Amino acid sequence: MAGADYMAWVNLIWGTDMGDTRHTRVLIIGSGPAGYTAAIYAARAMVEPLLIQGIQPGGQLTITTEVENWPGDTEVQGPDLMVRMESHARAMGAEVISDHVSALDLSRRPFTATADSGTTYTADAVILATGAQARWLGLPSEEKFKGFGVSACATCDGFFYRGKEVVVIGGGNTAVEEALFLTNFATKVTLIHRRDELRAEKVLQHRLFHHPKVEIVWDHIVEEVLGTEDPLGVTGARVMNVKSGELRKIACDGFFVAIGHAPASELVADQLELHHGKYVKVTPGSTHTSVPGVFAAGDLTDHIYRQAVTSAGMGCMAALDAERWLAEQPS
Ligand code: FAD
Ligand code: NAP
């Protein structure tokens, strides 16, 4: 039997393709605070949501340590908080699936998501909660040493720099938190920032400025990550003073990039209206995107706040918006 005929036969017999096809009323893509909160609310609204976790179950908070601004917890470990959110979503009746969406078709309803497992998910409504991913400087030398001294996750890789010297690039909350975290292992942490003031919260700045292992190099950008070929490894960074143009070398064994995150909008970039480059646009005061039945929440849509609690809030809004939108559709 020819391939096409065989597929037609399979479809006739099973009413499905070779890979599984699953239908759900609400498909939630992403398992950060936005996705899990959407799942909790959608499950309690009895729309039986199905949530696909993606390759980072729990999202960005799984790569940090202490979270001190989640209401109700003076201090909670990021990974623990996300495990609790997942349990909460499951306990409310959401189905949580370990899979990754590789393609999404929003051109017709039901919407179709193709996943790495081979399963095709169809959905009456979709909540996008794919969050954000680390940004890189874009230097060829950074690319060359990724995984060999260059990292964007201190929580994941800090342990390897026990007794060594590291640099952290950036001036936001992430850079300062990463720098402070790295002081647990490294003998010296140098924060390199392109301006002469940080944008991190004042409480974090205070901790950084008073830490004996930390040095701050203001007004410098990185020209090149320096290292050895055999074995491949980082030995330093060549930096330039943006005011004087002067070049100098800073010795280090680890090079941590913490210059922010970009929204993970690749799945929908050519299907939905975006704003500020790559963020998914929603109608102000709601989570409705430019395609009816598709909702967006969390860092994917938010270029301003980008917090766990705001993402969770938007996840709640998305579930409520989806539920109301579904109720308005003719059956
Ligand atoms: P994310 O947490 O980014 O989660 C996105 C999810 O989408 C992931 O589960 C991923 O697997 C999934 N996904 C992506 N693409 C696909 C796909 N194609 N298919 C299926 N799934 C997909 N905020 C605070 O409020 N307090 C803090 O202390 C704090 N600390 C932070 C520390 C660090 C190091 C970082 C990086 C961020 C920190 N933040 C903090 C910010 C906070 O983590 C984010 O605002 C929040 O996680 C955003 O939630 P989200 O649900 O929008 O997306
Ligand atoms: P961010 O706030 O966007 O800060 C990025 C930093 O990197 C800025 O200081 C920026 O410099 C610098 N930068 C950007 N591009 C650069 C480049 N090409 N070269 C050199 N430096 C560059 O990102 P973030 O720190 O990852 O934080 C993201 C969001 O998560 C924020 O909303 C933050 O509040 C939140 N977050 C919260 C916590 C917390 O609450 N404890 C912890 C982590 C993150 P400029 O300052 O010059 O622009």
The residue written with tokens 């996705």 in the block is 35
Give the pTM: 0.84
Pocket test for ligand 2, best of 64, 174, 222, 305 (most atoms within 8 A of CB): 174
CATH topology of domain 140-257: FAD/NAD(P)-binding domain (3.50.50)
- Whether the predicted pLDDT of 129 surpasses 90: yes
Could you give the CA distance from residue 35 to residue 139 in angstroms, rounded to a whole number?
A: 33
Give the model's pLDDT for residue 12. 44
CA of 211 to the centre of ligand 1 (A): 28
CATH topology of domain 3-134+261-328: FAD/NAD(P)-binding domain (3.50.50)
Pocket test for ligand 1, best of 130, 133, 155 (most atoms within 8 A of CB): 130
Among residues 320, 258, 310, the alpha carbon closest in space to that of 32 is found at 310
CA 263 and chain centroid, separation: 7
Which ligand is the nearest neighbour of the Cα of 299? 1
Q: What is the pLDDT of residues 212-244, one digit of tens each?
A: 999 999 999 999 999 999 999 999 999 999 999
Q: What is the pLDDT of residues 87-119, one digit of tens each?
A: 999 999 999 999 999 999 999 999 999 999 999
- C-alpha to C-alpha distances, 149 to 138, 170, 182, 185, 220, nearest whole angstrom: 16, 17, 14, 15, 20
Is residue 233 within 6 Å of ligand 2 at its C-beta? no
pLDDT category, 4, cuts 50, 70, 90?
very low
Q: Quote the Cα angle for 322-328-331, to 5°.
A: 105
- Whether the predicted pLDDT of 8 surpasses 50: no
pLDDT category, 63, cuts 50, 70, 90?
confident
Give the model's pLDDT for residue 95. 98
The answer to whether the beta carbons of residues 232 and 255 sit under 8 Å apart is: no
Query: Which DSSP state fits 281?
Result: P
Protein residue with its CA nearest to atom 15 in ligand 2: 259
Which ligand is the nearest neighbour of the Cα of 67? 1
- Whether the predicted pLDDT of 17 surpasses 60: no
What does the pLDDT average to over 34-59? 97
Pocket test for ligand 2, best of 136, 176, 199 (most atoms within 8 A of CB): 199
Higher pLDDT, 7 or 273: 273
Q: Which residues contact 221 (CB under 8 A, 6 or more apart)?
A: 192, 194, 239, 240, 242
Protein residue with its CA nearest to atom 39 in ligand 1: 307
36, containing H or E segment:
helix 33-44
End-to-end CA distance of the chain, in Å? 39
Give the model's pLDDT for residue 19. 74
The residue written with tokens 């109700």 in the block is 72
Among residues 27, 22, 31, 32, the alpha carbon closest in space to that of 49 is found at 27
Relative to beta strand 50-52, strand 95-97 is: parallel
Give the model's pLDDT for residue 31. 98
The answer to whether the beta carbons of residues 78 and 67 sit under 8 Å apart is: yes
13-14-19-22 Cα dihedral, nearest 10 degrees: 160
CA of 171 to the centre of ligand 2 (A): 6
CA of 232 to the centre of ligand 1 (A): 31
Which pair of structure tokens corresponds to residue 198?
A: 């940080």
CA of 204, closest atom in ligand 2: 41
Among residues 131, 168, 142, 143, the alpha carbon closest in space to that of 56 is found at 131
Mean residue pLDDT of the chain comes to 93
pLDDT category, 7, cuts 50, 70, 90?
very low
CA of 309 to the centre of ligand 2 (A): 17
What does the pLDDT average to over 259-287? 96
- Whether the predicted pLDDT of 13 surpasses 50: no
- Whether the predicted pLDDT of 10 surpasses 60: no
Give the active site residues.
153, 156-157
CA of 60 to the centre of ligand 1 (A): 3
Q: What backbone torsions phi and psi does residue 50 show, to the nearest 5 degrees?
A: -120, 125
Give the model's pLDDT for residue 180. 97
Which pair of structure tokens corresponds to residue 136?
A: 């890189």
CA 96 and chain centroid, separation: 18
Give the model's pLDDT for residue 9. 40
CATH 3.50.50.60 domain extents, the chain:
3-134+261-328, 140-257
**What is the CB < 6 Å shell around ligand 1?**
29-35, 52-57, 59-61, 63-64, 67, 69, 100-101, 129-132, 174, 177, 264, 267, 298-300, 306-309, 311
Percentage of the chain lying above the pLDDT 90 cut = 87
Give the model's pLDDT for residue 147. 84
Sign of the Cα torsion 304, 310, 314, 320 reads: negative
